[in-house]
A and B are shown apart, each in its own frame.
Chain A
Amino acid sequence: MAENIVETVKLTKLYRKGKLEIVALRDANLRISKGDVICVMGPSGSGKTTLLNMIGGLDRPTMGEVIVDGVDITQLNESQLAGYRLEEIGFVFQFYNLFPVLTAFENVELPLILAKKSKEERKRKVCQLLETVGMTERANHKPDELSGGEQQRIAIARALANEPALILADEPTGDLDSENAIMFMNLVKKLNQNYSQTFLIVTHDPLVVQECSKVYMIRDGKLEKSKG
């Protein structure tokens, strides 16, 4: 059996809206193994992003556990969670979320600076990552000089910077045309095949779904496996 990266146990998130209690997610059990490319589908507002954020240590569940390397990260304090996000997780967003004042190179460099890597090491790593995502030529461009597809590739390079165990992508192709969406998924496949990089992708996009090894559905806060 493949190595477990993340396991969620009865993960539950409730919101309170006035007197009403809204269930965003109930008793979600999800096991992510090394090399998985998992996608989570579901109508908007169904709790997909909530699941992603709790696994990524951005949000805390109301109940349940997120086990990473035998540790329940929901028990970590803020600063430890920041360290977890830095070392173990890479985020990719629908709207890329690159820093507009930084060049492509500097955007990829930022997580390495936060991880206190030396200047030489940063340079070496950033060049290697830009090469991997095919953006070496555009290293010194600011995000507003790049196309959506290019920005998303820079975002992937940034997510990969500290060699995370898991990349979490929230609607990564939601803002891309189909050509760029295919290019993005090809990059995901390449990273998965060459480096056994693990992905958890929240999406509506059939182009993405067909490339994933496992597919989950969330409906009314309940997580169900539908493929793999």
Chain B
Amino acid sequence: MSAVAMTWRNLSRCKLRVGLTVAGIAVGVALILVLLSLVAGIDAQVRTSIRAMGGADIIVYNATITNPREAFLLGSSAVLNESTVETIAYLPNVHAVSPQLTEVVIVNETLAPVWGIDVKTFYEAAGGLNIIDGKIVGENENNTAVLGKSLFDLFNMTVGRSVFIHARPPHHNNNVTLTVVGVYETGIFLADRGLYIPLAVAQNLTDSLDFVTSILVKADSPDNVESVSSEIASLFPDMRVVTLSNVVAQASQLLNTLTMFFGTLGVVALVAGSFGVVNTMIISVMERTREIGTLKAIGAKNSTVLRIFILEALLLGCLGGGIGIMIGGGASFFISEFSVRILPAVPVGQRITTNVSPLLTPWNIILSFALGLVTGVLAGIYPAWRAARMKPVEALRHG
């Protein structure tokens, strides 16, 4: 018979009481896990959108397509005119402007996002790419491509070989063969699964000459980003103007609200849950007074009695934590299924996402579970100490 087995049997003596106590901890743990998952999800999303902006201060999108599913299904949202680029370029305090055409194409039979970039301005507006092998597409090259690391590895590619690209319907007759001149890595799954090609090549593929999907803008100083973006917004009311600072500001505001809400609820629930543990354990110690006396009479040290009851509290915490992460994990999944639309349009590749998706990470699961465990043990210390210091003679005399 193990100590855990004995503790388990002691707990199963009063299932309802133990069940309710465990539920108290579980609710706290679940709330904390949902909070952590939401924070992780938003954090990941903000990181992704910041990376998607590269070094650009502002990205301008067409605002008429806001539904990500629609944007995805339409396949192309090439609605910004290249003349818009000229207009923005002549605004005061604008340092550089670079048009981009984002599209999903078929590369060697595999679907992949492609970014058509204007090589000349891309450096100035977005600061270039993180090239890990080879080089970026050259200024006057019309038959070259740079592949994301994942895509590169997927094809077992080497620099100097070529890839065959063709567009999706209705442009499926358009195709082109490009020489791979380099590999880049961003750390974003979607971006590393794609490729960068010259803007003109991308426009040819999709029969969208003169059209682009987004415009990257760099202000001449970080202080002027706000004024430039509001200028653009007032000039082109149909456009969505996204700046790094408003992504971060809105996300952090959301994070604060969520942390306040779930954090407060979670902590309150855990504290209430810990009272439940204290209560249950004190009653259990009182009910088993004579057993504690007997235990001491047959030679158990105070420290042994303490350990027995701490183990019981630990098991309560374990159960609460385990059930809590199941509930919290389920709730996180439920939230991401029905996506809360709170964030501003954060463009990731071609898709515009407005959803907050909680992200369940192993670390957050461990952390929430540990919180439940710690709550149980902390709450168990006092009742266990009471049991341990009981005088055996008095305990034996008890009912």
Contacts and interface: CB of A to CB of B under 8 A. Distances in A.
A86 B10 contact: no
Given A89-B299, A100-B13, A115-B299, 5 more contacts: A59-B392, A82-B302, A91-B298, A97-B290, A101-B6
A205 B90 CA distance: 113
Closest 3 CB pairs of A and B: A86-B299, A101-B9, A97-B294
A114 B305 CA distance: 11
27 contacts: A58-B296, A58-B392, A58-B393, A58-B396, A59-B393, A79-B301, A79-B302, A82-B301, A82-B302, A85-B297, A85-B298, A85-B299, A86-B299, A87-B299, A93-B294, A97-B290, A97-B396, A99-B291, A99-B294, A100-B13, A102-B9, A109-B1, A110-B298, A111-B298, A115-B299, A158-B298, A159-B298
A61 interface: no
Contacts of B1: 102, 106, 109, 113
Interface of B: 1, 6, 9-10, 13, 290-291, 293-294, 296-304, 392-393, 396
A111 B304 CA distance: 12
A213 B297 CA distance: 26
Contacts of B298: 85-86, 90-91, 110-111, 114, 158-159
A159 B294 CA distance: 11
Contacts of A82: 296, 299-302
Given A58-B392, A106-B1, A83 B294 contact: no
A114 B304 contact: yes
Interface residues of A, number: 30
Nearest to B1: A106
Interface in A17-66: 53, 56, 58-59
Contacts of A78: 301-302
A56 B290 CA distance: 17
B299 A162 contact: yes
Given A93-B294, A101-B9, A102-B1, A114 B299 contact: yes
A122 to B, nearest CB: 9
Contacts of A101: 6, 9-10, 13
Interface in A138-195: 158-159, 162
Interface of A: 53, 56, 58-59, 78-79, 82-83, 85-87, 89-91, 93, 97, 99-102, 106, 109-111, 113-115, 158-159, 162
A56 B148 CA distance: 79
A100 B291 CA distance: 9
A45 B312 CA distance: 37
A100 B298 CA distance: 16
B294 A56 contact: no
Nearest to A98: B294
Contacts of B290: 97
A83 to B, nearest CB: 7
Contact of A53 (B13, B299, B302, B393): B393
B300 A114 contact: yes
Nearest to A80: B301
Contacts of B393: 53, 58-59
Contacts of A79: 301-303
A137 to B, nearest CB: 20
Residue of B296, B297, B393 with highest tally of chain A CB at under 10 A: B297
